[in-house]
Amino acid sequence: MSIRYPNGKKFIQTGILSKKKNVNKDDRFSNRGMTLEEDINETNEYYRSHNIAVIHKKPTPMQIVNVDYPKRSAAVVTEAYFKRPSTTDYNGVFRGKYIDFEAKETKNKTRFPLQNFHEHQVHHMKEVHEHDGIAFALLRFTFYDEVYLLLAKDLLPYFLEKDKFKKSIPKSEIEEKGYLIPIGYHPRIDYLKIIDKII
């Protein structure tokens, strides 16, 4: 059987994989190619399609400055600027409650750097929390492929202590105050299972 590329060139196999390398596969690393954002987007799509919740990623406000039109049917943005800082990554509604959260990941094995959060995001979570919305952060430690849900009430005090040279949250404290979310197949990160128990 002859295989050809879309441009018509013939595919020529250069080598045959006769033996698989004996790799000690660890389940923790089976989906390391997925980013936290991709996992959350897949999860939110699952929630919408199963009528569980309506939660979306917020678009970043952009000011378009220049657009090229190489064809009549296509436009290419060649220059744009952020209009203003965005708030958090995701928001929506679950069981009549307003949900608002930020998603962050780190390669650090023992601590979560606070510099990953921007001041306007922290301020926004504080406002949502004060108005009885459900605000939280999903924090992924990529080395372990572990995702924790940390409620705003447990996250915000770390920023109030920022002047005391707190630059990060120890993983042990996130494990103690947060909720480990088991990584699943579909949905990938079932964070609403935890929120459902909290509310």
Determine, yes or no, domain membership for 23: no
Domain limits for position 101: 31-58+87-198
CATH code, 139: 3.40.1350.10
Q: Could you report the per-residue pLDDT of 101-125, keeping only the tens digit for each?
A: 999 999 999 999 999 898 889 999 9
Determine, yes or no, domain membership for 8: no
Determine, yes or no, domain membership for 71: no
Whether the per-residue pLDDT at 87 is higher than 90: the answer is: no
Q: Count of domains in the chain? A: 1
Q: Could you report the per-residue pLDDT of 30-82, keeping only the tens digit for each?
A: 344 458 999 999 999 999 999 999 999 986 666 677 778 777 677 777 776 65
Higher pLDDT, 163 or 41: 41
Determine, yes or no, domain membership for 120: yes
As a whole number, the mean pLDDT across the chain is: 81
Percent of the chain topping pLDDT 90: 56
Task: Write the DSSP string, the chain.
Answer: ---B-TTSPBP-------S-------GGGTTTTS-HHHHHHHHHHHHHHTTS-EEEEPPPPEEEEEEEEEETTEEEEEEEEE-S----SEEEEETTEEEEEEEEEE--SSEEEGGGS-HHHHHHHHHHHHTT-EEEEEEEETTTTEEEEEEHHHHHHHHHTGGGT--EEEHHHHHHHSEEEPB-SSSSB-HHHHHHHH-
Determine, yes or no, domain membership for 146: yes
Determine, yes or no, domain membership for 155: yes
Whether the per-residue pLDDT at 196 is higher than 70: the answer is: yes
Determine, yes or no, domain membership for 128: yes
Determine, yes or no, domain membership for 165: yes
